[in-house]
Structure 1
Amino acid sequence: MKIITFLCVLSLIGFVFGENKTDIKPVVIWHGMGDSCCFPFSMGRIKKLIEREVPGIYVLSLQIGDSIPSDVENGYFMLVKKQLEIAHDLIVNDPKLKNGFNSLGFSQGGLFLRALAQKYSSPAMYNLISMGGPQQGVYGIPNCGSVAHETCNYIRKLLNYAAYKSSFIFRRWVQNYLVQATYWHDPLNEKEYRKGSIFLADINNENVVNQTYINNLQKLNKFVMVRFENDTTVQPRDTEWFYWYKPGQAVEVQKLQDTYLYEEDRLGLKYMDEQKKLVFLETPGDHLQFTDDWFVENIINKYFK
């Protein structure tokens, strides 16, 4: 009897002083365009890094498809709505995630995880970390840094026409089967963009305000947005902080706090900002280029431990 009592006391002490590790939340990772859940040089390496720094943690790297090649392909060509449904099914059917999880999205994966948080409230997403996610969409071609560049402008015009100005059937086809077209955002034609967008305008509440999106997003503990200082892939790079161009032009960018999404609080971001739930981080380097030390110090240690 004395031995049993002694063991119970030790267990209680461990719980009180934090030795019980059950409060460590699992992590769900969503890769970016052209990547896969499990490439050893990308998401596989990130998964191992988290597991090394947080012993015993469970990490699920989402595979959208029945194989790694299909996972890569679906990042380009599968309807975003369908991708979100698959991701949600993977999460719901994983018993290790039933009590909630942290999420970590890379590039478009950061945007898709926000959409997932807004659409589904269970299992609960705790912290959302978006690494270079284009939260306000993109208006640029990778490595086309100059808006005035003739070739880049020509490609932009083609994308604008295909995504928003062509016939209803054709533009639906483009956005249904070309993932990146669903978050193409033309700041020179905001009305056409909002009317034609089947994904980004919806999750940003730009046409009809979906209160469920607001309520679910505000349940997050932290929404962490990482911007890459020398990004040449996501244009403008400031979309990674939810910034966007000032109305009517495509040169000068305004802060999130100056956008109509924030001023009208169409997503609840103003409230979240006031509650200190929005976190803006920046790191040197091009798109998704960061050191292990930076990642451990700024992401793992602060949000996963």
Structure 2
Amino acid sequence: MKKLWNTLCLLIIVSTIYKVESKDATPIVLWHGMGDSCCNPLSMGSIKSLLEKQITGVYVRSLEIGSNVIEDTENGFLMNANDQVDLVCKKLKSDKKLENGYNAMGFSQGGQFLRAIAQRCPTPPMKNLISIGGQHQGVYGIPHCPGKSSICNYVRKMLNYGAYVSFIQNHITQAEYWHDPLNEDEYKKYSIFLADINQERKINESYKENLQKLNNFVMVMFNKDTMVQPKISEWFGFYKRGSVNETFTLKESDIYIQDKLGLKEMDNKGQLHFLSVEDDHLRISDTWLINNIIDKFLI
């Protein structure tokens, strides 16, 4: 009888610990990339399931930009990036499960969009930002899209026509992080999203203060990336001014040297992490995610 009682007591203790762990699991917010949606079972749906499997009791919210999956996918091409960020900010503030803070994982363009959330929307607090293939200095090259997408073809035509034309800047998502190294002045003047969050025109001190509230800012680059041009944008680098061949690193950039976003200070404190995957854009295994992201930054 005593042995049975001791066993029951142990089970109660283990059960209590389990419940505490479940309750204390930091929620996770996911933002998908171009051409994807919140709930695709082969992409975000799979990531969501993996996180829920690996982290006991975790609440995972995969962002839907629109009222359904079709709108969500279309809005990744045709909705103003600033409007998307404003919409998500409202969604996060109204989600009671996030009020004590959350971790964020952005995939491809979702990476820079979630960084904009960290800078512009500090409530609820973002704890860790994981950017997987995000283009933090933008792109200068028209990406390919999965399948034969008519929207992709339309976007390509618009970007070829002129990324900094007002109508295109306001209505083509990819134009809003288009960064022309051959015409930096035009980029800084007319980019309505990227030039703003990268403090290219004027310094917004709240952007810097809010970003520095992160515990960790993790950037994942795909070393064999054929979609993002240049791929070093995934580590906050880019093409040198006037060149489409030579690149610079984050530490060589004005953003870092002048510490416009507080990244230099964050780096000195060990808050910046640069990881890489030996594969093409967003080709990432569950094992890699578990070992390098989930176990290190999300648990």
Q: In the alignment, is the contact (CA less than 8 A) between 2:30 and 2:106 conserved in 1?
A: yes
* Structure 2: distance between partners of 1:34 and 1:187: 25
CA shift at 1:252, angstroms?
1.0
1:38 aligned residue? 39
Matched, 1:214 2:208: yes
Residue 246 (structure 1) shift: 2.0
1:194-249 per-position Cα deviation (integer Å, ceiling 9, x unaligned): 01111100000010000000000000000000000100001100000001122221
**Cα separation, partners in 2 of 1:22 and 1:178, compared to 1, 3 Å:** same
Is residue 160–residue 186 contact of structure 1 (8 Å, CA) maintained in 2?
Answer: no
- The answer on 1:286 being equivalent to 2:287 is no
Query: Could you say if the C-alpha distance between residues 100 and 237 of structure 1 is closer, same or farther in structure 2, counting changes exceeding 3 Å?
Result: same
**How many corresponding residue pairs?**
280
Q: How far apart, in 2, do the equivalents of 1:163 and 1:142 lie? A: 14
Letter in 1 for 2:120: K
Mapped to 2, the partners of 1:161 and 1:262 lie a distance apart of 32
5 Å-filtered alignment, 1:68-147, equals 68-142=69-143
Shift of 1:159: 3.4
CA contact under 8 A between 1:91 and 1:97: conserved in structure 2?
yes
Is the CA contact (8 Å cut-off) linking 2:107 and 2:134 kept in structure 1?
yes
Equivalences for residues 151-170 of structure 1 within 5 A: 159=159, 162-164=162-164
CA distance in 2, matches of 1:37, 1:19: 29
List gaps (5 residues or longer) in structure 2: 1-8, 145-154
Distance change (3 Å), C-alpha of 1:156 and 1:29? closer
Structure 2 equivalent of residue 261 of structure 1 = 255
Contact 2:104–2:128 (CA<8 Å) still a contact in 1?
yes
Counterpart position of 2:293: 299
Instruction: Tell me, yes or no, if structure 1 residue 59 matches structure 2 residue 60.
Output: yes
Q: Is the 8 A contact 2:32 2:44 kept in 1?
A: yes
Distance change >3 Å, CA 193–CA 56, structure 1 → 2: same
SS at match of 2:163: helix
Report deviation, 1:250: 1.6
- What is the one-letter code of the residue matched to 2:221? R
| Counterpart Cα distance in 2 of 1:201 and 1:275 | 26
Distance 2:269 2:55 in 1: 28
Show structure 1 runs of 4+ deviating over 6 A: 155-158
TM (norm. structure 1) is 0.87
Q: Contact (CA 8 Å) 2:25, 2:56: kept in 1 or not?
A: no
TM-score by length of 2: 0.88
Query: Which residue in the other structure is 1:4 paired with?
Result: none
Task: Sort the Cα spacing of 1:156 and 1:68 in 2 relative to 1 into closer, same or farther, 3 A.
Answer: closer
Q: Are residues 50 and 245 of structure 1, via their aligned partners in 2, closer, same or farther at CA, if it must alter by over 3 Å?
A: same
Name the structure 2 match of 1:175: 169
Aligned residues with identical type, % of pairs? 52
